Every structure is written in C-alpha cells, then in structure tokens.
Structure 1
Amino acid sequence: MDKLTFLGLIIALSAIFGGQILEGGNVDALLDWAAFVIVVGGSFGAVMLQSHSQTFTKSLKIFGWVIKTPVQPVGEGIHQISDWSNLARREGLLGLEKKLDDSFDPFILKGLNMLVDGNDSKSIRDAMYVELDVNDKELLKAAKVYESMGGYSPTLGIVGAVLGLIHVMGNLSNPELLGSGIATAFVATIYGVGFANLFFIPVYHKLRAIISEQSQYREMIIEGIACIADGENPRVIESKLSGYEVK
C-alpha cells in the first residue's frame, strides 16, 4: 500500500475521532450504519445512474492505483530507448525488429512496430498522440466518477439528516429520546461532508496525478521513438529525454 495514502487516511480519521473525544463526546456516537448506507450507497447509486457502464467499471479498476500507486520507470525507459537507438544505428531498423517482444507495453509495441515498418517521425507522433489522448480522456472520465461522488455525498448527508429528524418528530411523545435522536440524525451530515472531503475528492485528485504521470511517461516514449526514426545520435536522444526525469 502506498505509505502516503495510508498515513493520510490514518491522520484524517484520527483528526475526526480525536476531535470528538477532545470535545468530550463518545466515539460510538459517530458510528451509524444507517447514515453510512444512505451516504455511500446513495453516492454510488447516483454515479452509476450518470455514468456509462464501461466508465464506471474502469473507475473501480483504477481505484487500486490509490492503494498501490504505479511508478513510471522513466530512467529505465530512457536507457531502453538509448539501447534501441544504438541497435538501430548498428543493424538498422530490421535489427530492432528482432528485439520486439509481445511482453512489451502495447503502447510501446505499437510505436516500435511503426518504427520498424519505416514510418517517419511525424506519422509516428500523429498516430501515438491520438492513442495517448483517447486513453487519457477515458481514464480521466473514470477518475471523475469519484469527484462526482464527492459532489453527491454532502447532499445525501443532508437527506440522511432529514430522514433522521423525521424519525425524531415521530417520537415527540418521548422527550427523553429527542436529544440522542437529533444527534444521530446529524451524523449523516458528518458522513456526507467527511466522505466527500476526506475520501472521494482526494481519491479523484490522486488518480488525476497518476494519470498525468503516466501520460508524461508515454510522451517521453513517443518522442524517443520519433527521434530514432529521425536517425538522431543516441547520446543526443538520451540528453533530450533526461528532461523527463524528476530531479
């Protein structure tokens, strides 16, 4: 699990429950399954209603990136491109064809196949940037599912609070139950605002950052392959691509 994600979640929950204790309240007062079902279940239902099935399914798949954040092998990629460039200089593009392997990332394999087939750098850039753009848009649509949930959950928290108050109003004949009933009703509001600002929206922003890093790595791959197509010196290519490394 990504350490920063885990630490952030622990700090956020500790702040909420710790604040409740410091105020002299009981932690159990914040645990309410009815409020959880209304806020989380309602948020999921709302985004399922608004989303395309493929987008929603992809959003569930990429959630794993929040737990185990993928690291883009920029340095390794630069060295690999440099090796391909040296090989292409020594043996020509057909020599590079021998190195093609189905285990490569499909995006990289597509670029190398275009290179081996003799396409010029412009054709390679045009084709690969189209694929990159489409892929980024699809991933961002999936990530926005969590942003949408962050928009719906506060409102559903209010719905939960109103439902709780309706239940309280039905017990006006028992004044001793009113205080605890009202407190429980407002727990739903806490859940709505809390899930939005401590989970759903942060998840969206983390996924967006990961998608941006992945896109930048793929841009580097495109530029590297295009430089090989132009016949540039391997050292020059490596120097150009070094700008993609985070210092």
Structure 2
Amino acid sequence: MDKLSIAGLLLAILAVIGGFVIEGGALITLFHFPAFLIVFGGTIGAVMLQSPASQFQRGLLMSKWVFATPVYDVDEGIERISHWANEARQNGFLALENEAIAESDTFINKGLNLLVDGAESEVIRDALDIELTLEREHLLKSARIFDSMGGYSPTIGIIGAVLGLIQAMANIKDPTSLGNGIATAFVATIYGVGFANLLFIPVAEKLKAVVYQQMLYKEMLIEGILSIANGENPRSIELKLSSYRK
C-alpha cells in the first residue's frame, strides 16, 4: 500500500472538513445524498459517454495503482539483464530460450524471443519501441479519464446548484423545502469542486506518474536487450544501465 497517497488523501479531507468545523459549521450539513448523486453520477455518466468502453474500464482498473502502486525494481531489472547477457555470451542466444518460455511478462518474453531468433538489433528496437509506444498511449488515455472527471465535476456541481435553487424558488413559501433546496445548491458546488481537486485530478496525475515510471523501466529493458544483441560485455551493460537508478 502506498502510505503517502493514503496520508495525502486523509490530510486533504481532514483539512477541509476540520476547517469547516472549526469555523462553527455542522458536519452533518456536508452530507447530502441528492447533491452527491447529481455530481458524482453526472460526472461518471459524462465520462462514460465520451470514452470508449475499453479505455474507461482500463482506467477504472488502473485506479488501484493510486494506493497499491506497482514497484519497478531497477536493481533487479539490471541484475536480470546482466544474467541474460552472461548466458548469451557463454552459451549463445539459444541459451535464453528457456528464460523466454518461463517469462510471464509479455514485453520481456517478446524481447528474449527476438534474441533467440537471432533478429538484428534494429529489428528488435523497432518491434519493442512500437509495443512500448502503443502501451504508453493506451495507459495514458485511460489515466486521462480522471482528468476528464476533474473537468466535468465542477461544472456539474454548478448544475446541481442551479437545480437546488430552482427547487428553493419553487417552494419559497415552504421554509423546510426552501432550506433543502438551498442546501442542495451549496453542497453540490462543494462536491463538484472538492471531487475535482481532492480526488479526480490528483488520481489522474498519480496514474500518469506510474505510467511514466513503468515506461522508463521498459526503456531500460530495451536498452539492455539491444546491448545483448550487439554482443556487449555484461559488465559494460551493467554500468550503462546503472544510470537508470537515478
């Protein structure tokens, strides 16, 4: 679990709610289901409308990375590449066939199979670069659904505010209904701005940061596999890839 992300979310929520309570506000007034339904439901619906199904579903699945951030161990990656380089240097590229068969990561599997097949380094680079580029685009587009949520949420909060005021004006002679309408108006605005700035936009930025980290790790793998294909010394490969530790 990413403790920093959890702490950040809790701090943001507690700071807003705590400040409201300190100023004398009643906490219960911030909980208003109709306003929540308008803002959250309207935002999700708008993003579903604009997004292809696969992109939307992938984005939702990626959201778990906010609190369970994938770890890309550069040191372990360099160690694996160094092992492959030693195997290829001592026993030839065919010695990597068993490594390729046992590899569950499709990206690494593809790179090792290209080495085993004796592909030229340029062919390997082109094949892996294309896969990397496409994967980056798919993941970033999916992460951007939360950017879209952050854009729609404040606007839909305004819609909720207008609906609340319409209700309030329609029942101006009924103090109870008037109060409910005004509550919906103001709370919907808070929900719209709050969801955008405390949840949707930070989630989008966190997911994009994870994607860039993953792509950097895979760029290191490409560089290592190409170095093996070019017959470079395993020690030289390890020194070259050590820059990725920064």
Classify the TM-score, shorter chain: over 0.9
Whole-angstrom distance in 2 between the partners of 1:26 and 1:202: 27
1:98 to partner: Cα distance? 2.9
Written as runs of structure 1 = structure 2, the 5 A alignment for 1:56-71 is 56-71=56-71
CA shift, 1:227, in A, is: 0.2
User: Partner residue of 2:112?
Assistant: 112
Structure 2: distance between partners of 1:95 and 1:102: 13
| 1:147-167 Cα deviation digits (max 9, x unpaired) | 000000000000111111111
Tell me how large the CA RMSD over aligned residues is: 1.3
Per the TM alignment, residue 177 of structure 1 is displaced from its structure 2 partner at its CA by: 5.7
Equivalent residue number for residue 75 of structure 1: 75
1:14 aligns with 2:14: yes
> How many residues in Structure 1 have an aligned counterpart in Structure 2?
246
AA aligned opposite 2:228: I
Unaligned runs of at least 5 residues, structure 2: none
User: 1:93: which partner in 2?
Assistant: 93
In 2: Cα distance, 1:137 partner to 1:120 partner:
26
Inter-partner Cα distance in structure 1 for 2:143 and 2:78:
28
Distance 1:130 1:68 in 2: 28
Alpha-carbon distance, 1:97 to partner = 1.7
TM-score (norm 2): 0.96
Which string of whole-angstrom CA distances, capped at 9 and with x for unpartnered residues, describes residues 183-221 of structure 1?
442100000000000000000000000000000000000
CA distance in 2 between counterparts of 1:149 and 1:140 reads 15
Partner secondary structure for residue 63 of structure 1: helix
Contact 2:39 2:156 in 1 (8 A): yes
Asked if the contact 1:150–1:196 (Cα under 8 Å) also holds between the matched residues in 2, the reply is yes
- How far apart are 1:23 and its partner, in Å? 1.3
What is the match of residue 31 of structure 1? Answer: 31
What is the deviation of 1:175?
4.5
8 Å Cα contact 1:120/1:226 also seen in 2:
no
**Residues 95 and 163 of structure 1, relative CA distance in 2, 3 Å threshold:** same
Structure 2 residue aligned with 1:221: 221
State, as a whole percentage, how many aligned pairs show the same letter. 56
- Measure, in 2, the Cα distance between the counterparts of 1:47 and 1:38: 14
